[in-house]
Amino acid sequence: MEEKWWMKSVVYQIYPKSFCDSNGDGIGDLNGIRSKLPYLERLGVDVLWLSPVYASPGADNGYDISDYYGIDPVFGTMEEMKRLIAECEDRGMKIIMDLVVNHTSDEHAWFVEARKSKDNPYRDYYIWRPGTPGAPPNELASNFGGSAWEYSEETGEYYLHFYHKKQPDLNWENPAVRKEIWKMMNYWIDLGVGGFRMDVIDLIGKDPDRGIKENGPKLHEYLQEMNRETFGKKDLLTVGECWGATPEIGRLYSDPERRELSMIFQFEQIALDKVPGKQRWDLKPLYLPDLKKVFSKWQTQMEGKGWNSLFWNNHDLPRIVSRWGDDGAYRVESAKMLATLLHGMKGTPYIYQGEELGMTNAGFSRIEDFSDVESRNMAQSRRALGYSEEDILRSLKKKARDNARTPMQWDDSPKAGFTSGEPWLPVNPNCREINARQALADDASVFYHYQKLIRLRKEEPILVHGTYSLLLPEDEQIYAYTRSWQGKTWLIVCNFYGTCASFSYEGEGRCVLSNYETEERRDLRRVTLRPYEAGIYELTE
Ligand code: TEU
Ligand code: CA
């Protein structure tokens, strides 16, 4: 495949609301982000993905947009946005914007018009069906719980919303809608952004009458049109959020010949610690061979035919060190192990703010502490179904989206250096030990491990281009694989748990990177891996 700049990049996701507050209102903002560019540059990332900062009533923390051309006053102004883009450029960094175009806010001017009357010119921007109160058009459910249809008094019809009722779905079949979106995307491209992360993009081809949400019949047609009408001739990074993707589907998006997107986020691994067929709240321990199967399938089936994204975390997922690592005694070791496992693979890695510090889940102890719409809806509906309070709390502590959204931990002060005011979501009290100031002062911190992994990707083409091959598929404790390129082989070996494990591979290896002190050359024939030990070795004769 032709080499693209984003194949060598590492993306850092910023959740602006929780990153850095510059004016003491308890909410992170653009000037806060700007003040932390030296920190991000030091980490070595070259692309920043900003979760939405557009004007929004905030029913879903900015994923409900009321004006795609405006910055929400809580985050700053368009002037400040331009300054951020310019200062990033000075530092060799690009900004990618969150593109949320499956739905708008119900307070967007289009919807305000559309709901007024059946013959309003904007009516067809959204999806309406006849019905009577209490009898929605069909059984389609919202991803946040309850029906996907909301009755609208003004005209006596229902509108579709796959998320919050304040997030009505756009009607992509309407060419006028698509034209508006291309225009808006071109506006941001002209402002100098480096690309887009596309929110739930696999929903835009929906066919609600046939119950089709993801991967609808016209999805790829729309994306090819988008490519032609907007970023196709520019060299941008585009990544689609695709919960329902298989590798076959992944190749449809990212095969360069099809001219759609650079890559997608796929979520198959996310389902491995829930009871199959049930909701993410129905917990089950991860079985390591299952994880290998999923990752290896994507690594192998995308080889030469598309491009993977690599991520453990985002603003919708619990913290990886609390999820599949150990957020107690082996927090540092396990955070580094997980980083090594992921960054050793082929694809573009994404780091979610605080992951580079080994930040943990929120540490909330009461159901009321959880503020996210999805958490609240779940608690309400499970209470009604008779679940115990303990059950609900256990699920939230493990899986709630709030876990990723507590303020970034900059220092050990009570508000973690995030704000001088009252943070919109409580700071995790463990900021006393886990924070950026501490990490920067400690050579052995998780931060510097990430820094090394990022640097390695820039310096070693084998990390970008090497072919992946899984070892020990059935082993329940060790995740090991190789990357090979131009006669060179790297071995990546990770002990996924807190007990020792023995490992053996034919030959000797030069240690490229490890999360423990290790000899420079290691005989790999008989190795005892220490708890959560992870290493990258270049194989020698
Ligand atoms: O997320 C898509 C999505 O499906 C998630 O809401 C997911 O279902 C949930 O977090 C896990 O169960 C995107 C955004 O990332 C998310 O923040 C938004 O809430 C959602 O779209 C609607 O825009
Ligand atoms: Ca602020």
Categorize the per-residue pLDDT at 1 as very low, low, confident or very high, splitting at 50, 70 and 90. confident
Tokens 């009577």 correspond to what residue?
132
pLDDT tens-digit profile of 413-429? 999 999 999 999 999 99
Compute the distance from residue 316 Cα to the ligand 1 centre, in Å: 6
Which residues lie across from 48 on neighbouring strands? 12, 95
316 Cα nearest atom in ligand 1: 10
Which residues lie across from 351 on neighbouring strands? 12
Structure tokens at 421: 């005011």
CB-CB neighbours of 17 under 10 Å: 25
* Of residues 311, 309, 293, the one with CA closest to residue 347: 309
Give the residue, out of 14, 161, 200, with the most ligand 1 atoms within 8 A of its beta carbon, to mutate for a pocket test: 200
* Of residues 479, 477, 525, 522, the one with CA closest to residue 501: 477
State yes or no: pLDDT of 54 exceeds 90: yes
63 Cα nearest atom in ligand 1: 23
Quick one: CA dihedral 144, 161, 316, 425, positive or negative?
negative
Protein residue with its CA nearest to atom 18 in ligand 1: 63
pLDDT of residue 298: 98
For the CA atoms of the chain, what is the radius of gyration? 23
| C-alpha dihedral, 405 to 411 to 414 to 418, nearest 10° | -50
Categorize the per-residue pLDDT at 338 as very low, low, confident or very high, splitting at 50, 70 and 90. very high
Ligand at shortest distance from the CA of 104 = 1
Q: Tell me if 400 sits within 8 A of 375, measured CB to CB.
A: yes
Q: What angle do CA 31, 240, 183 make, to 5 degrees?
A: 70
Looking at residue 417, its amino acid is G
Protein residue with its CA nearest to atom 3 in ligand 1: 200
| Cα 466 from Cα 460, distance rounded (Å) | 10
Categorize the per-residue pLDDT at 12 as very low, low, confident or very high, splitting at 50, 70 and 90. very high
For the segment 160-178, the average pLDDT, to the nearest whole number, is 98
Which residues lie across from 523 on neighbouring strands? 508
Judged on CB neighbours under 10 Å (0-12, 13-18, 19+), 25 is middle
Compute the distance from residue 240 Cα to the ligand 2 centre, in Å: 29
Compute the distance from residue 235 Cα to the ligand 1 centre, in Å: 27
Is ligand 1 within 6 A of the CB of residue 202? Answer: no
Give the residue, out of 199, 265, 278, with the most ligand 1 atoms within 8 A of its beta carbon, to mutate for a pocket test: 199
State yes or no: pLDDT of 49 exceeds 90: yes
Ligand at shortest distance from the CA of 24 = 2
| Cα 136 from Cα 109, distance rounded (Å) | 25
Structure tokens at 368: 């009321």
Q: Order the strands of the 149-152 sheet from edge to edge.
A: 128-130, 157-160, 149-152
Protein residue with its CA nearest to atom 9 in ligand 1: 316
Protein residue with its CA nearest to atom 2 in ligand 1: 200
Is ligand 1 within 6 A of the CB of residue 267? Answer: no
Structure tokens at 316: 């919708």
Is ligand 1 within 6 A of the CB of residue 265? Answer: no
Protein residue with its CA nearest to atom 11 in ligand 1: 316
Compute the distance from residue 25 Cα to the ligand 2 centre, in Å: 5
| Cα 65 from Cα 167, distance rounded (Å) | 8
Q: Tell me if 47 sits within 8 A of 11, measured CB to CB.
A: yes
Is ligand 1 within 6 A of the CB of residue 197? Answer: no
Looking at 344-480, list the stretches that DSSP marks H as alpha helix, in order from N- to C-terminal side: 373-384, 389-399, 402-405, 436-441, 446-459, 461-465
pLDDT tens-digit profile of 466-519? 999 999 999 999 999 999 999 999 999 999 999 999 999 998 999 999 999 999
| Cα 173 from Cα 384, distance rounded (Å) | 38
Q: Tell me if 224 sits within 8 A of 76, measured CB to CB.
A: no
Q: Tell me if 374 sits within 8 A of 405, measured CB to CB.
A: no
| Cα 121 from Cα 110, distance rounded (Å) | 9
Protein residue with its CA nearest to atom 1 in ligand 1: 200
| Cα 305 from Cα 257, distance rounded (Å) | 9
pLDDT tens-digit profile of 212-252? 999 999 999 999 999 999 999 999 999 999 999 999 999 99
pLDDT tens-digit profile of 364-413? 999 999 999 999 999 999 999 999 999 999 999 999 999 999 999 999 99
State yes or no: pLDDT of 313 exceeds 80: yes
pLDDT of residue 307: 98
Report the first-to-last Cα separation within the chain, whole angstroms. Answer: 30
* Of residues 51, 64, 52, the one with CA closest to residue 13: 51
- Report the phi/psi class of residue 192: left, alpha or beta, with left for phi > 0 and alpha for psi in -120 to 50: left
pLDDT of residue 251: 98
Is ligand 1 within 6 A of the CB of residue 377? Answer: no
164 Cα nearest atom in ligand 1: 22
Q: Tell me if 489 sits within 8 A of 465, measured CB to CB.
A: no
Is ligand 1 within 6 A of the CB of residue 34? Answer: no
Buried b (16+ CB within 10 A) or exposed e, 514-534: bbeebeeebebeebebbbbbb
Is ligand 1 within 6 A of the CB of residue 402? Answer: no
pTM of the model: 0.98
pLDDT tens-digit profile of 427-446? 999 999 999 999 999 999 99
Task: Name the residues annotated as catalytic.
Answer: 199, 241
Protein residue with its CA nearest to atom 8 in ligand 1: 143
Mean per-residue pLDDT over the chain, rounded: 97
Ligand at shortest distance from the CA of 73 = 2
| Cα 117 from Cα 154, distance rounded (Å) | 7
pLDDT tens-digit profile of 102-146? 999 999 999 999 999 999 999 999 999 999 999 999 999 999 999
Is ligand 1 within 6 A of the CB of residue 60? Answer: yes
Cβ within 8 Å of residue 368, ≥6 positions away: none
- Render 329-346 in DSSP notation, one character per residue: TTHHHHHHHHHHHHHTSS
Compute the distance from residue 80 Cα to the ligand 2 centre, in Å: 13
Quick one: CA dihedral 463, 534, 312, 405, positive or negative?
negative
pLDDT of residue 498: 98
